[in-house]
Amino acid sequence: MGLDDLIKKVIMATPTMRRDVEDLLSNKAALLRGNSAVEDSRLVSITGAARLLMVGRNTVYSLIKTGRLNTVDLNGSKRVTMRSIHQFVNGERPANDKTVAFIQASRARYAATKVKAK
């Protein structure tokens, strides 16, 4: 999708969607700048982490499972640390053995579903 298509989608978006895009862009820009307003809220929800990283919640769960994002259990709900998000964005959290094993297992499951489909 090109930039022009993206701009058209934002222009045609509902007010709620437009506000979400604005929040997302301002939060990501603040995160990349290391803005203290974002750093002050040291924990974010899974959905908040997904918005900051511009990915889906399942991707955030995969990043957590592979050790690329750290979480804290807060009264029974997981919160992602801003520090791990910041490190991930800056490339300071490279893939580890856990990540490689997760990717291999995912590929094996995918290959198994392809065989069953035939």
Distance, in Å, from the CA atom of 79 to the CA atom of 74, rounded to the nearest integer, reads 7
pLDDT of residue 33: 54
Beta strand pairing call for 77-81 and 71-74: antiparallel
pLDDT mean for each 10 residues of the chain (118 residues): 68 70 61 49 86 88 88 87 85 70 75 69
Distance, in Å, from the CA atom of 95 to the CA atom of 63, rounded to the nearest integer, reads 10
* pTM exceeds 0.85 for this model: no
Contact 64, 45 (CB under 8 A): no
Contact 78, 48 (CB under 8 A): no
E strand spans, the chain: 43-44, 71-74, 77-81
CA angle 101, 77, 20 (to 5 degrees): 90
pLDDT of residue 38: 45
pLDDT of residue 52: 86
